[in-house]
Chain A
Amino acid sequence: MSSETKQILTTDGIPLEISLKKAERKNKIKAFLLVAPLLLFLIITYIFPIGEMFTRSIDDKMITNMLPKTFKSMETWDGKELPSEEVFASFLSDFKILVEKKEHGKLAQRLNKEKNGFNTITKKLFRQVKRNKIDETQNIKEQIMKVHKRWRNVEYWQAIKRTAPPYTSAKYLKAMDMYLNEDNKITQVSEDRRIHRILWLRTVEVAFFVTVFCFLMGYPIAHLLATLPMKYSNLLMICVLLPFWTSLLVRTASWMILLQQQGVVNDFFVMIGLVSDDNRPEMMYNKVGTYVAMTQILLPFMVLPLYSVMKTISPSLMRAGKSLGGTPFVAFWKVYFPLTIPGIGAGCLLVFILAIGYYITPALVGGASGTLISNQIAYHMKTTLDWSFASAMGLMLLGGVLVIYWLYNKLVGVDNIKLG
């Protein structure tokens, strides 16, 4: 025991550990300086934007800043009956400031999102304030309640109170087709308005099946690549990589040419008499198109990790399996296949993660039934300009990918992965 705790000294009498650290320090600094540009780049382009996305997705400060006094006075309100005179007074004073800054419209919009009907009553209140109809020396509560009957309805005041916290989970709930109702309970939206959940499920479904198709097609190709003599395998490798060297848009466009109703594939089917001319099947602007195009585009991401793993498996292992009495299938299943699992894991993970966030291809060939959640994100980024909602969905996607990664780690082990 004593020898373990005893400090070992160098010839000069300096403790060995300190001496070693000193000797290594220079190398460590050098190494850090070498990676520093990349680290900085990652922080600026990856970690910072994700943080920004996160704050944006839960940010609700606008209204908090608009009605500071109201929320302060509401702190003591129990929320069961109409609030006190004090709350009405502070609301009026907040409102007057907003009217001066001409921001009352924004308030109406925000409150209307929380509860329908705020638009009308805010406008009415605005007109009264504009005409100086409200006498601040009198009972303000009475006067506001007279403006519109909804101001007498406690539910509207509850709605205002709900907007008080500077952060909200509303965007996340919205992405799951849910919302917080009057009693602060998570509720599902009415059935005809549930669109996001279908999109999420469809995204996972498409990503899953694209992964399966890529695996089913990529495994034999990778095996062939790994076992063919160099001469042929190089040519085949170029064929596999060719899609990589072609623009994504060009490839997707060529699929559109092939798959459309008057397209090459349909013409061929009609020619060989598989389908009649007036009954050409729709292969585009639906899921079929999305599956076909995405599988083709993502295939290299499956083939390459598989190939790199298969290349390292000695052909004598299969021979050994056979010579020991295993049928070719047993030798494959018991010997070859288990050894390719690191490649399968890497390929599937790669394809699935890429597929789950795929955007251009489903947008072009997917049509209505083939669009995915990423198309929805893009729609909110570009059309509705609801960036916080887009951020929320983007982060949910990222979270989903991380969960898959975590699951993979639990089941197979990440150190078992082999990407190339």
Chain B
Amino acid sequence: MSEFLFEQRNTIVAFLIIGLIISLALSIVKGRRVMATERTDLVFGNPAKALGGWYWIITGMSFVMLIWFYFSWDAARAYNPKAANELCQVAKVESAIKPMRSQFPLDKQNLRGTDLIARDSAQLERINNSLQTLALQNSVKLEAAAILTSLHSALVDQANPVYMKASLATEFKSIAARIDSLTANFNDPDFPGQPTVAQQAAAAAQPGWGDTGKEIPVLATTPLGYRYEAIAAEIRLIAKDFVKLRNTSPHLLAQVADINSRIKDAKARFKADLNISIEEQEARTRLYSQLNKMLKRIDDGAIYPPNSLDDIQSSLVAFDKTHIAQQGSLKAFDTWMMPGGRIMAGNSACSEQGSGRWLPKPSDTLGTLMRIADPDIGFKDIPLLWYRWQPVGGMIAFLFPDWIAELVPGDYPRHTQNGEIKSNFKSNVQDFVTGNYESFSIPVPMGHMWDSIIRVVIGLFFGIILGVPLGLFMGLSRFAKGFFDPMVELYRPVPPLAWAPLILTIFGIQDDGKIFLLFMVAFAIMVISARTGATGTQLSKIHAAHSLGASHRQILRRVILPNSLPEILTGIRISIGVCWGTLVAAEMLAGTTGIGFVENVARKQSDYEVIWVTIIILGVLGLLFDLIMRAVITRTIPWRGKG
């Protein structure tokens, strides 16, 4: 069933998107119609205006889902499953041409040679300026300055057409011609001819877009794809040949050899000279290494005369134009249907970058959720939410403290000569208090989700049980307020993660530490909300109860508590939200299970689908808890906001 759904997900998503657009439109129409009728009935500010409104819920949900489908490129995949594959071939061309392109002022401002001359002369200038401040003998300074001048002329002479390496002109021409012929091929609809059977078979055998973790199939499958793939292979060779070219003219080589020998000579004389101050030694070592580095950079011959590359540049521009024109509707599809990123060709595979990468597709995310929800797979061998059979004895063992067994007189049994272990009364008692006996089993929920829920629920439970009475007490007694207020207010603003190292030392790695962290969060909120509720009770109500003869206990139970219930319940709602927020941090302490643990591990594997699954689970669980609280609120305090 789920496999069928997974295979058909593109069709399903395609219909779903249309359905979402329709429901978005209809619900907006409905909402506007209701608004129009209400405009005359309800004045501005009437809270009844915010009640109900299921159509706006549909509007909001449809909007969010559409945004998700759109920016995760699920919509693009649903309507054109081959697009990624074709764009992958396009990206191959772009990445193949990049080493060559990046030398021209096409994607950036300057020709590479211009950049190099600017950069290197600036650095020569810096070294020259620093010469004045260094503690050097004058002769050394003069010598270094002369070398710097030679370096500079070696640098700028490369730009002089007179000194250009003789073979370069023809090589540039041939590169430009090769690009031009490739551009012609690009326009030829028959290029590169029919794919071979082996090519087709290999292409057909690869999985579709997003079918596996490899995301995008690499081999071309469409005529356009074949053409781009073939062009990419050729342009890669051309780019390689171009990048290999060097303007190492005899003139430059002679200059380099000359400078090299001068630096070496200066270094040798420096080494031989024994009476140089330490300060000067350091300065000179550094100076010669700087000169060497500059020479090494300049001898690359990466600078050409200013206009020598014009042919290649205009060929590249023509190639670019064809390259874009040939994409046709694919280009528009890429721009409009795959926003926020692009498909990139690495050397091993094509991959989605941008929002397509970090925002997994809803259909894939659902697939991942269904996969790890399968109790046989789970995450790290633990299911998300499942059950296991557990003996009752072990579960109720916590009722009996283990030291009971120690009180029984006698010793624990020892194994006999033939390896038997006979139990005695003392060991039987110990087995009982530790739950180590045969008892019937009952199914108990387990798994990452269950563990997280239990932690939150227990933390909340203790937060409420302890926080509400303390809050009420603080609202009623000057002593309690004065005594506890500084403590609560001091620890409340500290972010939970700051407590983490302490909690690890105090509680260890078991659940109690994580629960304590959640408890602390819930506790502060409960104290404050209960206190606010208690102090907000109207004095006239208390006076009325008093004059009717109510005892202190009755006033607390019948007047103050019901009056502070709205605040308390709102406090619970807030602390539920904050507890879920803290859970990920709590489970980072010592991760064994839990949604936060799943997220932490998935992060280390850059597994964005699982990360989104955990985000969605956390969101849905939080929403579920909140819905329960809303039901509780409407049931217990229906008078809220009506008094």
Say whether A associates with B. Answer: no
Interface residues of A (CB under 8 A from B): none
Interface residues of B (CB under 8 A from A): none
